[in-house]
């Protein structure tokens, strides 16, 4: 994409993290893409982990009154949640309140900008404090990275569906009470968003599935929604020499490698146990090796070689992992739009996955991979086997995956879509196509 021919827009991205986790990495990729196009993009985060000079860590007010207020808010949230410590089932995602200890301070400390873009903001942005304080003249775009903005606290609802009717009796809290914490969070969110004019907030869904959730939502459906998929650096994530990748990672050269990646590898909804069940019926596939990446080593429990590479944050190492693999598998039972799928596709690796969330938007059945009905272990096993034992088929799908990634999921394309959205929200007089070209 070309550089700005005039004055670029000033965009501030608000995110809990800058590079840790899939949602943060996606936000940082968008931010860097905007800077490449000549726009003044910066990130405003609570946990700064990169060395990017355009990422600023939120510096909370340290006067006595502010510290006392934060402590009171923090203690209130803690007390409300601790009641469910004993009843909450093990092995599920985090649960995040709509309140934050920072109250309205985040909005008060924001750098001046033309557009605010929210990303994954759990435990950072206080909903009521933020939306009641942000200047009305500043458009707000929110990229919905997971389900937390639309629920009463969970980030993955695991098919519960109560977010459409007020939550309560939350299975992720182990609650049977209608007026539990999830219901209270949901009610406060409703009150906050009912006070926000429809033109003040524009939502970005990563896929058709999330757009459908937003269209059906009781208090979010009034806001306009645009689908903009995440993008991937197709120059970084690209086909590389397989033998070299395996040599660097210490993986067997003669194996057929099945790759699994998840930040929290042992989280049940990521489906590693489903993968293990599927592989239990593939003892006839010769030289099969499973390689996994993520926090915690999930147990395969069957006599198939399993190499766990641990938690990887360096894109250069991830590129090696994808290129060392023959097939990338995503057995997630619930998910939004995993960046890992785009990364695998860009590296020319076919994908076998359950058809859940936004995954069918990326994995095109029979073209870039194979999809199975959620929970259907036999179908997943058949899909994996089909790709493992047919090198010609997986190579053809891998080549097509690369083509689709380059055609539909590049960072410049994603960035240009956001630029178009930002322009539409700003004054056409101030931000005409004569001022900024992309």
pLDDT tens figures, 233-246:
999 999 999 999 99
Q: Distance between CA atoms of 380 and 276, rounded to whole angstroms?
A: 11
- pLDDT at position 5: 36
Express each pLDDT in 329-363 by its tens digit: 999 999 999 999 999 999 999 999 999 999 999 99
DSSP state of 169: S
- pLDDT tier at 91, thresholds 50, 70, 90: confident
Torsion sign (Cα): 339, 344, 345, 351: negative
Instruction: List, in sequence order, every residue forming a beta bridge with 154; answer none if it has no partner.
Output: 95
**Nearest in space to 335 (alpha carbons), one of 322, 354, 318, 350:** 354
Q: Which helix (H) or strand (E) holds 55?
A: strand 55-57
- pLDDT at position 6: 43
Average predicted confidence (pLDDT) for the chain? 93
145, 23 contact by CB (below 8 A): yes
Q: Where in the chain is the domain with CATH 3.40.50.2000?
A: 10-231+411-425, 242-408
- pLDDT at position 25: 94
Q: How far is CA 163 from CA 91, 101, 131, 150, in A?
A: 21, 24, 21, 7
Residue 282: partners with Cβ closer than 8 Å, 6 or more residues away: 288, 304, 381, 384, 385, 388
Six token digits for residue 344: 């695998």
- pLDDT at position 270: 95
The rounded percent of the chain whose pLDDT value lies above 90 is: 90
SS3 state of residue 35: helix
Distance of CA 169 to the CA centre of its chain: 27
- pLDDT at position 147: 97
Which stretches within 63-163 are classed as H helix? 64-82, 105-109, 127-131
- pLDDT at position 429: 41
- pLDDT at position 433: 36
- pLDDT at position 79: 96
Residue in this structure with the two tokens 């039972």, named with its chain if needed: 333
SS3 state of residue 54: coil
Residue 436: count other Cβ atoms within 10 Å of its Cβ.
21
Torsion sign (Cα): 92, 97, 101, 103: positive
In CATH terms, 242-408 corresponds, of 3.40.50.2000, 2.40.30.200, 3.90.1170.30, 3.40.50.150, to 3.40.50.2000
76, 99 contact by CB (below 8 A): yes
Length of the chain (residues):
438
Model pTM greater than 0.85? yes
Which fold would CATH assign to domain 10-231+411-425? Rossmann fold (3.40.50)
**Nearest in space to 301 (alpha carbons), one of 330, 265, 323, 273:** 273
Is residue 232 over pLDDT 90?
Answer: yes
**Nearest in space to 82 (alpha carbons), one of 95, 68, 91:** 95
Q: Distance between CA atoms of 313 and 240, rounded to whole angstroms?
A: 19
**What's the rounded mean pLDDT across residues 102-122?**
96
- pLDDT at position 119: 98
**What's the rounded mean pLDDT across residues 269-283?**
94
**What's the rounded mean pLDDT across residues 186-198?**
97
Is residue 434 over pLDDT 50?
Answer: no
**Nearest in space to 107 (alpha carbons), one of 96, 121, 89, 93:** 121
Is residue 313 over pLDDT 90?
Answer: no
Q: Distance between CA atoms of 371 and 385, rounded to whole angstroms?
A: 13
Q: How far is CA 306 from CA 257, 275, 301, in A?
A: 10, 12, 10
270, 239 contact by CB (below 8 A): no
Q: Distance between CA atoms of 237 and 408, rounded to whole angstroms?
A: 14
Which stretches within 83-201 are classed as H helix? 105-109, 127-131, 181-194
**What's the rounded mean pLDDT across residues 7-23?**
92
Is residue 7 over pLDDT 70?
Answer: no
Is residue 185 over pLDDT 90?
Answer: yes
């Amino acid at each position: 994409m070309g550089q700005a021919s005039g004055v670029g827009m000033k965009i501030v991205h608000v995110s809990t993290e800058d590079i840790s986790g899939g949602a943060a990495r996606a936000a940082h990729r968008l931010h860097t893409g905007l800077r490449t196009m000549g726009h003044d993009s910066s990130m405003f985060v609570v946990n700064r982990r990169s060395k990017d000079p355009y990422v600023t860590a939120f510096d909370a007010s340290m006067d006595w009154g502010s510290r006392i207020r934060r402590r009171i808010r923090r203690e209130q949230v803690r007390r409300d949640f601790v009641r469910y410590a004993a009843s909450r089932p093990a092995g599920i995602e985090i649960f995040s309140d709509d309140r934050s200890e920072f109250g309205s301070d985040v909005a008060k400390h924001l750098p001046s900008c033309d557009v605010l873009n929210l990303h994954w903001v759990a435990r950072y942005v206080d909903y009521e404090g933020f939306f009641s304080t942000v200047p009305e003249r500043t458009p707000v775009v929110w990229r919905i990275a997971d389900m937390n903005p639309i629920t009463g606290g969970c980030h993955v609802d695991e098919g519960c569906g109560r977010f459409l009717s007020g939550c309560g009796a939350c299975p992720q809290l182990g609650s049977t009470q209608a007026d539990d914490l999830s219901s209270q969070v949901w009610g406060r969110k409703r009150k906050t968003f009912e006070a926000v004019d429809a033109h003040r907030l524009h939502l970005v869904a990563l896929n058709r599935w999330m757009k459908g959730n937003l269209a059906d939502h009781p208090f979010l459906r009034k806001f306009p929604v645009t689908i903009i998929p995440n993008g991937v650096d197709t120059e970084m994530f690209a086909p590389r020499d397989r033998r070299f990748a395996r040599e660097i990672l210490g993986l067997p050269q003669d194996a057929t490698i099945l790759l699994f990646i998840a930040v929290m590898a042992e989280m049940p909804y990521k489906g590693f146990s489903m993968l293990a069940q599927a592989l239990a019926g593939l003892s006839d596939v010769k030289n099969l090796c499973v390689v996994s990446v993520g926090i915690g080593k999930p147990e395969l429990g069957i006599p198939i070689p399993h190499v766990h590479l641990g938690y990887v944050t360096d894109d250069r190492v991830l590129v090696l992992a994808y290129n060392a693999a023959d097939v990338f598998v995503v057995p997630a039972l619930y998910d939004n739009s995993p960046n890992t799928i785009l990364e695998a596709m860009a590296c020319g690796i076919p994908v076998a996955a359950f058809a859940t969330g936004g995954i069918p938007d990326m994995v095109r059945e029979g073209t870039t991979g194979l999809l199975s009905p959620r929970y259907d272990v036999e179908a997943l096993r058949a899909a994996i086997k089909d790709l493992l034992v047919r090198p010609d088929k997986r190579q053809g799908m891998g080549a097509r995956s690369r083509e689709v990634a380059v055609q539909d999921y590049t960072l410049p394309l994603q960035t240009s879509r956001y630029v178009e959205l930002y322009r539409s929200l700003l004054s056409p007089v101030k931000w005409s196509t004569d001022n900024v070209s992309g």
